[in-house]
Structure 1
Amino acid sequence: MLEEIAIENLGVIRAARVPLSEGLTVVTGETGAGKTMVLTGLNLLMGGKADPRSVRPGADRAAVEGRIRVSGHPTVAERVQEAGGELEDDGTVLVLRTIADGRSRAHLGGRAVPQGVLAEIADDLVTVHGQAEQLRLRTSAKQRDALDDFAGPRHQRVLAGYRTAWSERAGLLGQIAESEARAAERAREVELLRIGLEEIERVDPSPGEDAELATLIERLSNAEGLRVAAGEAHQAMAGEDETGSQQNAIALVERARKALEGGASSDPALAELATRFADVGYLINDLATDVAAYLDDLEADPGALEAAHARRADLAGLTRSYGETIDDVLRWASDAGLRLLDLDDGGERLGAMRARVAELDDELERLADLLTQARTTGATELAGSVTTELHGLAMGGAHLEVTVERAEELGPYGADQVTMLLVPHPGAPPRPLGKGASGGELSRVMLALEVALATSPHKTASSDGDNGDGERQDADGVLRRTFVFDEVDAGVGGRAAVEVGRRLARLGRTTQVVIVTHLAQVAAFGDAHLVVTKSTDGDGAEDGMITVTGVREVTGEDRVVELARMLSGQEDSETARQHATELLESSVVGR
Structure 2
Amino acid sequence: MIEEIRIADLGVIGRAHVELGPGLTVLTGETGAGKTMVLTALNLLLGGKADPATVRTGAPSASVEGRILLREDGAALERAAEAGAALDDDGSLVLVRTLGAPVDGGAGRSRAFLGGRSVPQAVLGELAEHLVTVHGQADQARLRSPAHQREALDAFVGPEHAGVLAGYRQAWAERARVDAELADLVSRAQDRVREAELLRLGLAEVERVDPQPGEDVELAAEAERLAHAEDLRAAASGAHGLLVGDVDAGSPDAVSAVELVDQARRALENAGGHDAALAALGVRAAEAGFLLADVATELSVYIEDLAADPRRLDAVQQRRAELATVTRSYGSDVAEVLAWADFAGRRLLELDGGDGRIEELRAQRAELDTSLDELGARLSVARREGAEQLAAAVTQELAGLAMGGAELRIMVEPADEPGPHGHDRVEMLLVPHAGAPARPLGKGASGGELSRVMLALEVALATAPDSGASRPGTFVFDEVDAGVGGRAAVEVGRRLAVLARDSQVLVVTHLAQVAAFADHHLVVTKSSAGGVDVVTESDVRSVTDEDRVRELARMLSGQEDSDAARTHAAELLAQSVVGR
Q: Does the TM-score normalized on the shorter chain lie above 0.5?
A: yes
Partner of 2:146: 140
Partner of 2:386: 378
Partner of 1:316: 324
Query: 394-403 vs 554-563, which deviates more?
Result: 554-563
**Alpha carbons of 1:148 and 1:254: their partners in 2 closer, same or farther (altered >3 Å)?**
same
Partner of 1:554: 543
**Alpha carbons of 1:65 and 1:583: their partners in 2 closer, same or farther (altered >3 Å)?**
farther
Distance 2:365 2:222 in 1: 62
Post-superposition Cα deviations, 1:153-172, rounded to whole Å, max 9, x if no partner, equal 11101100111111111111
Q: Residue 189 of structure 1: which of 192, 195, 219 is its match?
A: 195
Post-superposition Cα deviations, 1:292-324, rounded to whole Å, max 9, x if no partner, equal 111011111000111111111111122211111
TM-score by length of 1: 0.76
Measured after TM superposition, the shift of residue 91 of structure 1 is 5.3
Question: Is contact 1:241–1:247 with CA below 8 Å preserved after alignment?
Answer: no
Post-superposition Cα deviations, 1:129-155, rounded to whole Å, max 9, x if no partner, equal 45x975231211111011101111111
Distance 2:141 2:426 in 1: 16
Distance 1:564 1:240 in 2: 138
Partner of 2:362: 354
2:434 matched to 1:426? yes
Question: Is contact 2:409–2:429 with CA below 8 Å preserved after alignment?
Answer: yes
Distance 2:304 2:524 in 1: 119
**Alpha carbons of 1:480 and 1:188: their partners in 2 closer, same or farther (altered >3 Å)?**
farther
Question: Is contact 1:394–1:492 with CA below 8 Å preserved after alignment?
Answer: no
Distance 2:401 2:457 in 1: 12
Distance 2:100 2:446 in 1: 31
Distance 2:232 2:340 in 1: 38
2:376 matched to 1:387? no
Distance 1:55 1:90 in 2: 25
Corresponding residue SS for 2:518? coil
Distance 2:366 2:529 in 1: 77
Partner of 2:506: 513
Partner of 1:492: 486
2:25 matched to 1:25? yes
2:509 matched to 1:501? no
2:477 matched to 1:483? yes
Question: Is contact 2:62–2:101 with CA below 8 Å preserved after alignment?
Answer: yes
Question: Is contact 1:95–1:108 with CA below 8 Å preserved after alignment?
Answer: yes
- The amino acid that maps onto 1:351 is E
State the identity as a percent. Answer: 47
- Equivalent pairs counted in the alignment come to 539
- The amino acid that maps onto 1:143 is Q
Q: How does 1:258-277 map to 2 (within 5 A)?
A: 258-265=266-273, 267-277=275-285
Measured after TM superposition, the shift of residue 221 of structure 1 is 0.8
Distance 1:295 1:236 in 2: 14
Q: How does 1:277-356 map to 2 (within 5 A)?
A: 277-356=285-364
Q: Aligned-residue CA RMSD in angstroms?
A: 4.7
Corresponding residue SS for 1:393? coil
Partner of 1:158: 164
**Alpha carbons of 1:443 and 1:97: their partners in 2 closer, same or farther (altered >3 Å)?**
farther
2:519 matched to 1:527? yes
Measured after TM superposition, the shift of residue 244 of structure 1 is 6.1
- The amino acid that maps onto 2:407 is H
Partner of 2:95: 92
TM-score by length of 2: 0.78
Corresponding residue SS for 1:513? strand
Post-superposition Cα deviations, 1:462-511, rounded to whole Å, max 9, x if no partner, equal xxxxxxxxxxxx46xx6665332343583333xx6554323112333346
Query: 298-307 vs 260-269, which deviates more?
Result: 260-269
Post-superposition Cα deviations, 1:29-66, rounded to whole Å, max 9, x if no partner, equal 5xxx3278624874798699x9x9x999xx999x9975
Measured after TM superposition, the shift of residue 337 of structure 1 is 1.8
Distance 1:171 1:238 in 2: 84
Question: Is contact 1:27–1:514 with CA below 8 Å preserved after alignment?
Answer: yes
Measured after TM superposition, the shift of residue 362 of structure 1 is 0.4
Corresponding residue SS for 1:213? helix
**Gapped runs of 5+ residues in structure 2?**
81-91, 114-121
Distance 1:22 1:106 in 2: 35
Question: Is contact 2:9–2:55 with CA below 8 Å preserved after alignment?
Answer: no
Question: Is contact 1:44–1:97 with CA below 8 Å preserved after alignment?
Answer: no
- The amino acid that maps onto 1:514 is V
Partner of 1:444: 452
Corresponding residue SS for 2:436? coil
Corresponding residue SS for 1:109? strand
- The amino acid that maps onto 1:513 is L
Question: Is contact 1:45–1:64 with CA below 8 Å preserved after alignment?
Answer: no
Corresponding residue SS for 1:483? strand
- The amino acid that maps onto 1:523 is A
Question: Is contact 1:25–1:527 with CA below 8 Å preserved after alignment?
Answer: yes
Distance 2:272 2:11 in 1: 120
Distance 2:446 2:102 in 1: 32
Question: Is contact 1:444–1:489 with CA below 8 Å preserved after alignment?
Answer: no
